[in-house]
């Protein structure tokens, strides 16, 4: 694809100048018992004995006051994933919960998730994304792939899919990502050398945050930012802090009534986080447009300018204004940081605690790429255990522990219940992927369960018995846009690290648990020891 001289680049330059029902995709986690002591028997999913299909009003669920008590008095606001388990044990795999005036239908089994998702229409909707939309509307910003809806969302998504979603297209970024992984290794060596023991890296999540920002920025904006250098700009550090700030404060902005916004700091902090994310994205787009203008100025008659990366592709596709490009890339930039950084952190934590598994993985990697060799995307077809390790990490720690669907196009039947249009369904990913009926020994980290033949794991842990048992990247046309790139990024990084180092827990690390900052993150810093392997 090429851009000819005078193809309108300057017009792009000129164009840059409440909690609602779902409140993102994570509000509906039923908990506890109804106020007043009324107890519900756990629901047996399916039509009643008379064959009559039941409705929303027939579902069990907790009272709203009890829900808020659990969140803000008992401290479950940061443990919403655990409330899924509590609710499923109390009410069964299908229950309703109330958040303000909105009713959520919670699904916590693979079979129910499949039944719902198989009925999706042409324009599936995650939720109304009210909090995100409030920010966009208040700032006059365009919606992106997470916030747009209906026909407009479909057109946007189809355009964004190109050069991103197919494995063959994601493979185009292998060289760029390997370049970033090399910088990751250099930075890890610097941190090891600076530690008192000479081999420890404190808080590896911070290292992987910088790695993830460098990688996604290189893909989206075609520019190395220097996130993995010894000295980093305040602007870069501010962006990383803003992502965490936005997620953390959105929890409180989601559940607290709107009248609390002037009184409490959470809403202002939430808006400030998004403002920083968008400002960072706008600066990157401005710089890219300047580069494109200069290329046009030096272009010889008849010469074509090669469209290089993702941002260049979007700006020259003719389908987006710069205003719309910024709306999409800011959301993609935010999503691209947390997914890979947290997954790599959890993966190394578990490998460090299981030397036998780590050694088996090292042997697999070394057989495909001997010491000093850099992997290519085609190599991972010969690394089934490496892929299984990442799958198992995402099963135990789905980046987003809940997702949502609003059936905007038609009525649906799920679990023997009939639901009208515009019902909000909450998919309890955390509870679904820890179901012992689907994953025996569900709390254990057993990657070999994903391998054909289940090599090496005990018989009681064998089998992955339902295709909807773990959906860390979502499902169908509304699935994760950056899935292929994220998988490649994690595979390249993990293979290089396992190739070079034996990884152990740092002294005194102990057990690390998850907390929900909308996404699942470690409850304390994960510090690890990296011992160089002999060639």
The band of 8, judged by pLDDT with boundaries at 50, 70 and 90, is very low
Which one has a higher pLDDT value, 360 or 336?
Answer: 360
Region label for 320, one of left (φ > 0), alpha (ψ between -120 and 50) or beta (otherwise): beta
Distance (Å, rounded) from C-alpha 288 to C-alpha 496? 31
How far are the Cα atoms of 26, 65, 522 from residue 34, in angstroms, in the given order? 21, 8, 31
2: pLDDT strictly greater than 60: no
204: pLDDT strictly greater than 80: yes
CATH 1.10.630.10-classified regions of the chain = 155-398+472-535
Reduced to 3 states (helix: H, G, I; strand: E, B; else coil), residue 481 is coil
393: pLDDT strictly greater than 60: yes
Share of the chain above pLDDT 70, in %: 86
CATH fold group of domain 155-398+472-535: Cytochrome p450 (1.10.630)
Helix then strand then coil, % of the chain, to nearest 5: 50, 10, 40
Residues, the chain, total? 535
Least confident of 57-71, 127-141, 372-386, 488-502: 57-71
Distance (Å, rounded) from C-alpha 267 to C-alpha 280? 20
Judge whether 480 is annotated as a binding position: yes
Whether 519 and 400 have beta carbons less than 8 Å apart is answered as yes
**With 0-12 CB in 10 A as exposed, 13-18 as middle and 19+ as buried, what is 328?**
buried
73: pLDDT strictly greater than 80: yes
Give 275-284 pLDDT, tens digit per residue.
999 998 899 8
Q: What is the pLDDT of residue 293?
A: 84
| φ and ψ of 468, to 5 deg | -100, 15
Least confident of 10-24, 216-230, 362-376, 392-406: 10-24
- Give the DSSP H or E segment for 62: none
Distance (Å, rounded) from C-alpha 73 to C-alpha 94? 25
462: pLDDT strictly greater than 80: no
5: pLDDT strictly greater than 50: no
Q: What is the mean pLDDT of residues 348-371?
A: 97
Give 421-441 pLDDT, tens digit per residue.
999 999 999 999 999 999 999
Which one has a higher pLDDT value, 25 or 483?
Answer: 483
- Which of 8-12, 326-330, 451-455 is modeled with the greatest confidence? 326-330
145: pLDDT strictly greater than 70: yes
Which one has a higher pLDDT value, 297 or 5?
Answer: 297
Provide the 10 A C-beta neighbour count for residue 214: 26
* Six token digits for residue 15: 């164009």
Q: What is the pLDDT of residue 6?
A: 38
- Which of 37-51, 304-318, 376-390, 393-407 is modeled with the greatest confidence? 376-390
Share of the chain above pLDDT 90, in %: 54
User: pTM score, two decimals?
Assistant: 0.86
Q: What is the pLDDT of residue 17?
A: 38
Task: State the chain's mean pLDDT as an integer.
Answer: 85
Output the DSSP codes for 168-183: HHHGGGHHHHHHHHHH
Distance (Å, rounded) from C-alpha 407 to C-alpha 466? 23
């Amino acid at each position: 694809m090429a851009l000819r001289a005078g193809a309108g680049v300057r017009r792009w330059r000129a164009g840059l100048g409440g909690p609602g029902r779902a409140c993102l995709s994570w509000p509906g986690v039923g908990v506890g018992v109804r106020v007043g002591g009324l107890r519900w028997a756990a629901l047996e999913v399916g039509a009643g004995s008379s064959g009559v299909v039941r409705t929303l009003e027939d579902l069990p669920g907790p009272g709203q006051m009890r829900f808020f008590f659990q969140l803000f008095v008992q401290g479950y606001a940061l443990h919403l994933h655990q409330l899924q388990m509590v609710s499923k044990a109390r009410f069964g795999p299908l229950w309703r919960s109330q958040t303000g005036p909105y009713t959520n239908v919670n699904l916590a089994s693979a079979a129910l998730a499949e039944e719902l998702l198989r009925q999706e229409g042409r324009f599936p909707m995650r939720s109304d994304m009210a909090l995100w939309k409030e920010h966009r509307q208040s700032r006059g910003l365009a919606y992106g792939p997470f916030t747009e809806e209906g026909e407009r969302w479909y057109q946007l998504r189809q355009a964004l899919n190109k050069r991103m979603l197919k494995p063959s297209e994601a493979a185009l970024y292998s060289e760029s990502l390997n370049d970033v992984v090399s910088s990751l290794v250099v930075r890890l060596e610097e941190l090891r050398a600076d530690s008192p023991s000479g081999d420890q890296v404190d808080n590896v999540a911070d290292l992987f945050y910088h790695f993830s920002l460098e990688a996604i920025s290189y893909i989206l904006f075609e520019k190395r930012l220097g996130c993995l250098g010894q000295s980093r700009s305040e602007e870069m550090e501010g962006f990383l802090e803003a992502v965490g700030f936005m997620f953390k404060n959105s929890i409180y902005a989601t559940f607290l009534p709107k009248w609390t916004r002037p009184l409490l700091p959470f809403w202002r902090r939430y808006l400030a986080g998004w403002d920083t994310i968008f400002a960072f994205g706008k600066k990157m787009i401005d710089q890219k447009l300047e580069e494109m203008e200069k290329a046009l100025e030096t272009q010889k008659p008849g010469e074509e300018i090669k469209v290089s990366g993702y941002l260049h592709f979007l700006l020259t596709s003719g389908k987006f204004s710069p205003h719309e490009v910024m709306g999409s890339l800011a959301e993609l930039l935010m999503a691209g940081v947390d997914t890979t950084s947290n997954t790599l952190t959890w993966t190394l934590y578990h490998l460090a605690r299981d030397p036998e598994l780590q050694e088996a993985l090292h042997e697999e990697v070394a057989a495909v790429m001997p010491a000093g060799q850099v992997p290519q995307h085609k190599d991972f077809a010969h690394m089934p255990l490496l892929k299984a390790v990442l799958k198992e990490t995402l099963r135990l720690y789905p980046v987003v522990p809940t997702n949502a669907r609003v059936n905007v196009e038609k009525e649906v039947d799920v679990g023997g219940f009939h639901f009208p249009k515009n019902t909000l369904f909450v998919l309890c990913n955390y509870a679904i992927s820890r179901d012992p009926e689907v994953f025996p020994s569900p709390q254990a980290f057993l990657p070999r369960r994903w391998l054909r033949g289940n090599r090496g794991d005990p018989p009681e842990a064998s089998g992955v018995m339902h295709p909807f048992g773990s959906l860390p990247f979502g499902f169908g046309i509304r699935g994760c846009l950056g899935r292929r790139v994220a998988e490649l990024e994690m595979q390249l990084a993990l293979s290089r690290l396992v190739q070079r180092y034996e990884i152990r827990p740092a002294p005194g690390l102990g057990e690390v648990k998850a907390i929900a900052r909308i996404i699942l993150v470690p409850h304390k810093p994960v510090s690890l020891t990296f011992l160089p392997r002999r060639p």
